[in-house]
Amino acid sequence: MKMIINIKGVIELPKATTAISQNTRYLESQAARESNARSYPRRIPIAIAEAEGIHVKDMDGKIYYDCLAGAGTLALGHNHPVVIEAIRELLDHKRPLHTLDLTTPVHVAYAGLQHGHS
């Protein structure tokens, strides 16, 4: 039997039933379209519906600690209010969010902060 760790400890995954969970639907869809190169998602059989701080909620409503730290939310967690405010400000001013290494006023300001300039 497969097991997974959630905030209440180790749990056994349920055996197949006639009702398909929302997690199963998303996981089957992922398996059908994505490469076999993905590794850890096969060992963590959940589909994440919501995330806040250090917690993620799967499609079936179960809550887990995000031990992967969102692979990008290490410092602040998911949906931190300061980050949300900064993104909203960028969106409200129609600033680009993803520019690779192309420069923008936000990029220049950030680089200046990193090098002690203001």
User: In this predicted model, what pLDDT tens digit does every residue of 7-48 receive, in sequence order?
Assistant: 555 555 555 555 678 888 888 888 787 777 767 677 778 888
β-bridge mates for residue 94, sequence order: none
Tokens read off for 93? 């001013």
User: In this predicted model, what pLDDT tens digit does every residue of 90-113 receive, in sequence order?
Assistant: 889 888 777 666 778 877 787 777
Whole-model pTM? 0.54
Answer for the pair 99, 107: CB distance below 8 angstroms, yes or no: yes
Instruction: Report whether pLDDT(53) > 80.
Output: yes
Do the bridges between strand 9-12 and strand 3-6 make them parallel or antiparallel, or are there none, so unpaired?
antiparallel
Q: Transcribe 56-105 into DSSP letters.
A: EEETTS-EEE-TTGGGT-TTT-BT-HHHHHHHHHHHHTT--S--TT---H
- Looking at residue 80, its pLDDT comes to 87
Domain boundaries, the chain: 3-71, 81-114
67-80 average pLDDT score: 73
- Looking at residue 26, its pLDDT comes to 85
Answer for the pair 11, 3: CB distance below 8 angstroms, yes or no: yes
- Cα radius of gyration rounded to whole Å, the chain: 19
